[in-house]
Amino acid sequence: MSEIEIEYLASKSGNRLGFKKREGKSPTLVWLCGFHSDMAGQKATAMDEFARENGLASLRFDYSGTGTSEGKFEDGTISKWLSESQEMIDANTNGDLILVGSSMGAWLAILLAMANCERVKALVLIAPAPDFTEDLMWVTFSDGVKAEIMEQGYWMRPSPYDAVGYPITKALIEDGRNNSILNKSIDYDGIVHILHGCRDADVPWQRSPKLMENFGSNNVTLTLIKSGDHRLSEPQDLETLRRVLRQTVRTIL
């Protein structure tokens, strides 16, 4: 496996954002990380390796406050990370794109596709979590947690993926409402392939058929993985991802 050096982009937010760019032919595969995740994860690495094996260009990066990028995680919002993602795409890609988004990254991928519909030829959405700040966070919080967020500005949420937990801020919740997409039709006509594990304890798989119906495109496929959890990082899950990427690239080319 050929290793790519980390580069940095000076973003409009004032933070240097780490990214890895692989040169190759179009379409460019762009990875969009999940909440509190980074570009070093297994799925992101698998996508980049697929690009290498097939001579395709690829781009993966860390949002501000995560991984190799500067900034504080608690300063992040959907709008801020969306803006950074657009900056990365504008600065580091040309031509057709396939956006591959995991969890929160799928939400960003959909928003990016609607804003860049001529360039984004396909979406591969893994355990997609659009509107999670409202549906999977705010409405599930106790009155006490809600009060703490509103009065203090944040609440430290326990996480099985982080011993310390991570902050859920008032800004994140309120900004998420401004980017909601599940309450309206998604104006995107390209290829969409959704992957979701039936054992996902973080984002219920039952949300994906509903998301599927929101797309204006008729070219939407949903693959449910019976044994899959939220991460979908087991060897068989990564092989499914590679298969979907292979099919998607062939369809575009």
In 3D space, the residue among 187, 195, 190, 186 whose CA is nearest the CA of residue 245 turns out to be 195
200 is catalytic: yes
How far does Cα 155 stand from its chain's mean position?
Answer: 23
**Contacts of residue 248, Cβ cutoff 8 Å, sequence gap at least 6:** 98, 122, 124, 191, 193
230 is catalytic: yes
Return phi, psi of residue 47, to 5°.
Answer: -65, -45
Residue positions counted in the chain:
253
Residues 99, 102, 105, 111: what is their CA dihedral angle, to the nearest 10 degrees?
50
| Other CB atoms within 10 A of residue 77 CB | 18
Q: Which of 36, 103, 131, 202 is catalytic?
A: 103
Cβ 135 vs Cβ 109: under 8 Å: no
| Burial classification of residue 178, based on how many CB atoms lie within 10 Å of its CB (0-12 exposed, 13-18 middle, 19 or more buried) | exposed
Cβ 131 vs Cβ 107: under 8 Å: yes
Q: Which of 36, 193, 196, 230 is catalytic?
A: 230
Q: Which of 62, 200, 202, 237 is catalytic?
A: 200
- The catalytic site residues sit at 103, 200, 230
